[in-house]
Amino acid sequence: MTGPVPAPIGVIGHFNLLERLEPAGPGELFRARDTRLGRTVAIRLLPRDFLPDAAQRAALIDRARALISLSHPNVTTIFGADEHEGRVYLVFEFLSGQSLRAEMGGRPMNVRRAVEVAVQIADAVADAHAAGFVHGGLSPDSVMITAKGNAKIPAFEFAARGGFEQQDGEHRLRDYDSPEEARGLPADERSDIYSVGAVLFEMLTTRRPLHRGAAAPSAANPHVPRELDEIVLKAVAPNPDSRYQSAATYAAELRSMAAILDVRGGAGDEEDTATESTTVSRVAVTAIVILAAVVLAIWWFTRG
């Protein structure tokens, strides 16, 4: 039996705002109740000065509504967008989970798990690119991990990228800019590929790649195989022409790498486990030998 629905802390259209959430981006984020369909949703209410021009607000709403047709398991479903008292709001699926950065926890992730997450992100980006959307701001902070362990990219960020471009640094989520974006050039699909590669690089090493060229991830994490080094370094190449030219191709390469890891067995950090087991075995053998020597000595001196 479900408990009573909590009293709303506010109302936007036919949505009752139930709880304020950590926004991780511009504006305010709420858990809300759709009173027409009876479902829980998330609502992002953008600041009044985020897009002060009516034409800009209309353009953002149009982009957000265009994303409704983008159906991918690793992109949050967006249900609608509109204006409320001169402020744009977007309605999308409510997720329980944590950010990818929280899962990373400041340490290298298991290699197989890192590749799995990167495949999901690259697949989502590939579908968005096919629909005409460039993200321009992927990072471990802008990727959610659901309670079931799946990666989700907020659809809002695909819709709002153009708006972020027109704002100051405070409102931009592009903290993992590609080298060309850092030089002030416009982002394209290859810029997103760099960002996906940079996120994978950090999952494997806890570091971000350098724009002038990065060392192989295996230099910081010996569990990373040579084949994965090559895939990651191609994705984060300083020259866009040297990278994968489509996110779909990049996702396919990562998926092949995942299959190789599965065939080889182990989860990607088995070397430490094996070393630990070997050490424990050696200690156990040494203890048995010492115990046997003590018993033999006692027998020798007491046999007469």
In a domain, 136, yes or no: yes
Report the number of distinct structural domains present in the chain.
2
> Does position 78 have pLDDT exceeding 60, yes or no?
yes
Mean pLDDT of 136-140: 83
The reported pLDDT for the residue numbered 55 is 87
Residue-wise pLDDT tens digits, 4-21: 666 778 899 999 999 998
Same domain as 115, residue 74: no
Q: What is the CATH number of the domain that holds 23?
A: 3.30.200.20
> Does position 137 have pLDDT exceeding 50, yes or no?
yes
Same domain as 206, residue 236: yes
The last residue of a domain, from among 263, 278, 299: 263
The reported pLDDT for the residue numbered 303 is 58
Mean pLDDT of 224-229: 96
In a domain, 3, yes or no: no
Task: Please tell me the pTM assigned to this model.
Answer: 0.77
Same domain as 165, residue 106: yes
Return mean pLDDT, the chain.
82
- Residue 24 banded pLDDT, cuts 50, 70, 90: low
Same domain as 238, residue 107: yes
What is the extent of the structural domain holding 189? 97-263
In a domain, 283, yes or no: no
Same domain as 165, residue 48: no
Residue-wise pLDDT tens digits, 139-186: 898 899 999 999 998 876 676 654 344 344 443 444 577 888 888 888
The last residue of a domain, from among 68, 93, 118: 93
In a domain, 285, yes or no: no
Q: What is the CATH number of the domain that holds 256?
A: 1.10.510.10
Strand partners, 91: 43, 80
Residue-wise pLDDT tens digits, 177-222: 788 888 888 888 999 999 999 999 999 999 999 888 889 999 999 9
Residue-wise pLDDT tens digits, 262-304: 998 865 565 444 444 444 445 455 556 566 665 555 655 565 5
In a domain, 108, yes or no: yes
Same domain as 120, residue 27: no
In a domain, 62, yes or no: yes
Same domain as 108, residue 244: yes
The reported pLDDT for the residue numbered 159 is 66
Mean pLDDT of 75-95: 90
Same domain as 184, residue 89: no
In a domain, 290, yes or no: no
In a domain, 169, yes or no: yes
Which amino acid does the sequence have at 107? R
The last residue of a domain, from among 93, 113, 148: 93
Same domain as 50, residue 180: no
Same domain as 122, residue 239: yes
Which of 5-14, 98-107, 109-118, 267-276 is predicted least confidently?
Answer: 267-276
Dist. CA 279–CA 174, nearest whole Å: 46
Same domain as 78, residue 105: no
> Does position 138 have pLDDT exceeding 80, yes or no?
yes
What is the DSSP annotation of the chain? ---PPPPPSEEETTEEEEEEE--SSSSEEEEEEETTTTEEEEEEE--TTTS-SHHHHHHHHHHHHHGGG---TTBPPEEEEEEETTEEEEEEE---EEEHHHHHTTSPPPHHHHHHHHHHHHHHHHHHHHTT-------TTS-EEETTS-EEB-HHHHHHHHHHHTS-GGG---TT--HHHHTTPPP-HHHHHHHHHHHHHHHHHSSPPPTT----GGGT-TTS-HHHHHHHHHHT-SSGGGS-S-HHHHHHHHHHHHHHHHHH-S-S-HHHHHHHHHHHHHHHHHHHHHHHHHHHHHHHHH--
> Does position 114 have pLDDT exceeding 90, yes or no?
yes
Same domain as 250, residue 107: yes
